[in-house]
Amino acid sequence: MRIAFLQHGDYAEAYNRFKGGGGETYYAQRYSVDFVEDLAEMADFVGVCAIIGDRRDETAIKENLISARIPPKPGVGVDEPAVIDLLKTWRPTHLVLRTPARRVLWWALRNKLQVLPVFADSWGKSGPLGKLRARHLAHLLNNRSISMVANHNVPASLSMKAIGVHAAKIFPWDWPHELRPEDHPIKSLNRDLPEIVTIGVISEAKGTGDCIEAADILKREGRAFKWRIIGAGPYEAEARKQVDARGLQGVVEFTGLLPHDDVIRHLHSATLSVVASRHAYPEGLPMTTYEALATRTPLVLSDHPMFQMFFKDQQGAVMAPEKSPADLAKAIASMLDDAQTYEAYSSATGDLWTRVKADLSWGDLVKTWIDDPEMAPKKLAAMALPQQINL
């Protein structure tokens, strides 16, 4: 058996960091790295191709475990011809496709590979070209040789159903739930200096600019608070300019990328966690929402379609319309002005966390499929997408 993974994370970098005593940079990173290493013990070959970096290379982790990097194409993303060339040299029998690369998928089907699409993406409003691409992807995923497809949690899985993927073959997956609300105390409102965190890619579509404008509104209302933006991204230079132009130095802080343990430490002390993604951003269900709920930190969210199923009109989270800094600021203020409401929302995070999580772990999904691609859907049938629900 020869297994290939196509993903965005750099396996060799993470593997070497862990072997050197370093920590995770995001939730369940060590879990997925260890899973692939264990997989190499039972396979003839395992190759992990990451769409990252500025040059193409390959690193031998072990004799039969290879990590490769292929730089993304500017404005395109996955350099699919380069990926296909690499896969031809690897000669996989099984492909775990963690990004919706349609051309790679078509090549794999044509060459009779066993393919498991395991995504963390959503498909929502888009123009004619986007809809055409989504229909083409759905057509490929519906191929009879693909026994099952998976997406991160139920809302993203429903968006896959909405573009035409057969619902019976869709399985919502999740990472193991090691961070849990029962291990953390219910929070009380800190009126002296509330701490707000926003975690993830710094981009306009992710709502970074909307957060900065909301911070400006709250400051002009005379509120004292600290807002930490944790992460990195293409919009960071512009975001820093906006902070300087609005005189928000000392109020809005950019921490850069942090080890995952430090991210959790900031959530422990945070009053609120804000996720202001615009509808155009292809959210699945960000792990930062789980982590906030698990640390008893109430959420303030945009009304992104992927958030509405679990968070609309639910204690534990407040929603605001996308692209509206004024409404975002109002939602934040509603949580900072009422200690009783705040504590009730922090208490409700436990039930909300239980409602949000999916029970099929990534590792169980992949291992069951690798053991027997045809029988895997039957073995995991109890965890398939419920047929009676829609977005």
In the predicted model, is pLDDT for residue 73 greater than 70? yes
Query: What digits encode the pLDDT tens for the residues 244-290?
Result: 999 999 999 999 999 999 999 999 999 999 999 999 998 888 999 99
What CATH code would you report for 181-356? 3.40.50.2000
CATH fold match for the domains 2-176+358-383 and 181-356: yes
Q: Where are the beta strands (DSSP E) in the chain?
A: 2-7, 45-51, 57-62, 65-70, 94-97, 114-119, 149-152, 170-173, 195-199, 226-230, 252-256, 272-275, 299-302, 317-320
User: What six digits make up the tokens of 171?
Assistant: 């399985």
Residue-level pLDDT at 124: 75
- CATH 3.40.50.11930: does it fit domain 2-176+358-383? yes
What is the CA angle 184-189-194, rounded to 5?
100
Q: What are phi and psi of 213, to 5 degrees?
A: -65, -40
Domain boundaries, the chain: 2-176+358-383, 181-356
How far apart CA 365 and CA 84 sit, in angstroms, is: 25
DSSP 249: B
User: What does pLDDT average to over the chain?
Assistant: 95
Residue-level pLDDT at 337: 93
Query: What digits encode the pLDDT tens for the residues 191-232?
Result: 789 999 999 999 999 999 999 999 999 999 999 999 999 999
Name the band, by pLDDT with cuts 50, 70 and 90, for residue 388: low
User: What six digits make up the tokens of 335?
Assistant: 């949580």
